[in-house]
Every structure is written in C-alpha cells, then in structure tokens.
Amino acid sequence: MPKPLQAQSVSAVDKAAALALTPVSRETEARLDAYVDLLGQWQTKTNLVAPSTMPQLWTRHIADSLQLLSLAPQAKLWADLGSGGGFPGVVLACALAGVEGARVDLVERSIKKAAFLREAIRVTAAPAVIHNADIGDYVERLDNRIDCVTARALAPLQMLLGFAEPLVKQGTRAMFLKGQDVESELTEATKYWNIEPRIHSSRTGGGGWIVELDRIERRDSSPTEQT
C-alpha cells in the first residue's frame, strides 16, 4: 500500500522550523497534525494547495497563518473570506480552540472545498462555522460584529477592500495576507479607496506581507465584482 501524501511530502524539518517561528501548545499542535493529515488525504482528489508547496506546508501555510494571532492577540471572533483549503481560517480556529467564546467563520462558496472544511473542523474539534455562500451574502446576513476579517490568496487587494468595507465600518480590523506584489496592489487599491494601511513583513519570509487596516473609505467609484 502506498504511503499517504502527507507522509510522502510534508517535512518534519519544515514543521520544526514553522513551530519555532510560531510556537503553539501541545493541544494546538495535535489539532494541526490532524488537519495536515486530512489535507494530505484530500489533496489527492481536490487541489487545496499548490502541490509544489507541500514539502514546506508548515512554514508556507501554517506558520504564515498563525502569525496573524500575534497582531491581534485579543481577537476572538474571526471571519476568513474564501477559506479554500483552510488557510488561515482552520489554522486560526485550531489555535483558538482553548479560548472561551472564540469562533472563526469560514466563508467558502465552493461546495467541494466547503465539504473539506467541514471535515477539517470535525477532526480537529476547532471552534469554526462553515458558511457555504458568496462573500457578499455572508456579510449582508452577519448580525454580530467580527473582531478581525482576513483572506489569503483570494483576490486583488482592491476587491478585498470592497468585501471588508461593511465590516470595518462596524469596528472590525482587516488583515490580508499578500505576496511580493503588495506595493503594486496597494497602488491600484488607492485609486478606489481611502486607506491607511500598516504593512507587516511575514515572519516566514519569501516576500510575504500582511496588510492591516482599520479604516476603509470608498472613493467616488470602486470595483464591485464579487468572488
């Protein structure tokens, strides 16, 4: 019998490096192990992450997600837009499992990916709720304030700002994980939005950045395309 994808591809050295960057409790590590095992199984039939990143799964995806917690240590209620394979939403939920009142809303319109997210939450017992819906519908129906809204590898920043604007107006903080093109995305976004971003370099290197915002104001016109 062939070894599962997780055993073939995920590096123990990479895991150790990731946990050195973003230390977690034993309980959280166990939840993350269960999540990684499940992702490896599903990756063979559903493309949840780029296959080339599997050997660096812990640093490229898990530590990259965990670092958000240090920027908002008091946040309990999170919304992850376009959760996909669960980054950063499932990872955040695993880390928040011991925090009273914590919850992560995982917003994903793909039926297949939403099914994976449900199974991930089941096996990890992490405090999350799956919303198999368009982002606009989720935001419109939301009846309580979220502490932080995030997204990773979902859409250009100018579109993310449109999704997050109604939440940020209610006091939510936005934290978007972006790549090397963050400067050009910021330049394009400011054509449509008045923002005062705080830019944080990713702990995991690789040219990654976190764009943090607590104010988003629409200019005269802005992109309205939905994801």
Q: Residue 223 has what pLDDT? A: 53
| Ramachandran class of 22: left when φ > 0, alpha when ψ lies in -120 to 50, beta otherwise | beta
Phi and psi at residue 213, to the nearest 5°: -140, 140
| Alpha helices (H) along 86-153 | 89-95, 111-124, 135-141
Cα–Cα distance for residue pair 132/13, rounded to 1 Å = 35
Token pair recorded at residue 89: 């939403």
Q: Residue 8 has what pLDDT? A: 47
Q: Which residues contact 125 (CB under 8 A, 6 or more apart)?
A: 31, 97
Q: Residue 224 has what pLDDT? A: 52
**Angle in degrees, CA 179, 181, 184, rounded to 5:** 145
Cα–Cα distance for residue pair 189/195, rounded to 1 Å = 9
Q: Residue 9 has what pLDDT? A: 63
Q: Residue 207 has what pLDDT? A: 87
One-letter amino acid of 203: R
Token pair recorded at residue 117: 């997210």
How large is the C-alpha radius of gyration of the chain?
17
Q: Residue 88 has what pLDDT? A: 98
Q: Which residues contact 208 (CB under 8 A, 6 or more apart)?
A: 64, 177, 178, 179, 180, 201, 202
Instruction: Provide the whole-model pTM.
Output: 0.91
Running along the chain, 227 residues long, what does each successive block of 10 average in pLDDT? 48 94 97 97 91 92 97 97 97 97 97 97 98 96 95 96 96 96 96 96 90 94 49
Q: Residue 1 has what pLDDT? A: 35
Q: Which of 203, 158, 164 is nearest to 182 (CA)?
A: 158
Q: Residue 61 has what pLDDT? A: 96
